[in-house]
Amino acid sequence: MMISVRDLHKSFGSVEVLKGIDAEIKEQEVVCVIGPSGSGKSTFLRCLNLLEEVTSGEVYIEGDNLTDPKININEVRSRVGMVFQHFNLFPHRTVLENITLGPIKVKGIKKKDAEKAALPLLEKVGLSDKADVYPESLSGGQKQRVAIARSLAMEPRIMLFDEPTSALDPELVGDVLEVMKDLAKEGMTMVVVTHEMGFAREVGDRVLFMDEGIIMEEDVPENLFGNPQNPRTQEFLSKVL
């Protein structure tokens, strides 16, 4: 298993956001997480690289228990890429510097080699001509593709996407989804929190429907979208589809 989650609970103060999540994600699997806002899906995703501290339960990444206090979390995170809703590019660094920072500082790769390795990544996300510009001059869709390239530069085993197209103008969503589709085709293990039902249906191997801090229903997309069993899932899908 690439990712195993066992009885994961997460509270913010007295508010319990995750109320016992169990999940297994296989290598090369693309899992989409859908659900209403406030259902805990982003929090669940952020627990997978410990951006949120886990209140109780266990999270395993390639067999490493993240809740073990002795875990080297920085090393684990270098294997788990994360793409954020608001991109979070480093505004004081050029596109190329955004991409090479991790390889240089975390992996100790020489600057020249890191830059050489970054070029095919920029090509992959369709931004070869933007290597030397600063993020502020990019559109939202371009920023998000740079953010994906930045994560890929670490050669991660898993990619986490936290509503990667929610902050984009509608006409810019397609390019980002294309890049993600290509990644899925190449066999990247992906967990995608998304509101793009079309993407979940087309690209997802499995869809998790979350509500009220638990996984209410999970299935292959055809079944979950075509024939949802849980009334909550039915209600949610009737609103968004």
Which of residues 74 and 238 has its CB atom nearest to another protein in the complex?
A: 74
Which of residues 101 and 131 has its CB atom nearest to another protein in the complex?
A: 101
Joined tokens for residue 192: 């995608």
DSSP structure string for 150-219:
HHHTT--SEEEEESTTTTS-HHHHHHHHHHHHHHHHTT-EEEEE-S-HHHHHHH-SEEEEEETTEEEEEE
Instruction: Among 55, 65, 67, 78, indicate the residue that binds another protein (CB under 8 A).
Output: 78
- 151: contact with another protein by CB under 8 A: yes
The H or E element that residue 225 is part of is: helix 221-226
- 80: contact with another protein by CB under 8 A: yes
CB of 127 to another protein, least distance (A): 18
Instruction: Among 92, 108, 129, 239, indicate the residue that binds another protein (CB under 8 A).
Output: 92
Instruction: Among 1, 109, 131, 154, indicate the residue that binds another protein (CB under 8 A).
Output: 154
DSSP designation for 231: H
Instruction: Among 14, 15, 69, 74, indicate the residue that binds another protein (CB under 8 A).
Output: 74
Q: Return the amino acid letter for 161.
A: F
- 94: contact with another protein by CB under 8 A: no
CB of 38 to another protein, least distance (A): 19
Best CA proximity match to 109, nearest among 145, 56, 154, 151: 154
Cα(212)–Cα(230) distance, rounded to whole angstroms?
13
Q: Do 132 and 94 touch, CB atoms closer than 8 A?
A: yes
- 77: contact with another protein by CB under 8 A: yes
- 75: contact with another protein by CB under 8 A: yes
- 91: contact with another protein by CB under 8 A: yes
Collect all residues with Cβ–Cβ distance below 8 Å to 221 and sequence separation of at least 6: 32, 200, 201, 202, 204, 206, 207
CB of 88 to another protein, least distance (A): 4
- 27: contact with another protein by CB under 8 A: no
With both helix axes pointing from N to C terminus, report the angle between 140-152 and 170-185 in degrees, rounded to the nearest 10.
20
CB of 86 to another protein, least distance (A): 6
Q: Do 224 and 212 touch, CB atoms closer than 8 A?
A: no
Collect all residues with Cβ–Cβ distance below 8 Å to 129 and sequence separation of at least 6: none
- 167: contact with another protein by CB under 8 A: no
- 108: contact with another protein by CB under 8 A: no
- 26: contact with another protein by CB under 8 A: no
Among residue numbers 37 through 56, which ones bind another protein (CB under 8 A)? 49, 51
Residues that bind another protein (CB under 8 A): 49, 51, 74-75, 77-78, 80-82, 84, 86, 88-92, 101-102, 105-106, 147, 150-151, 154
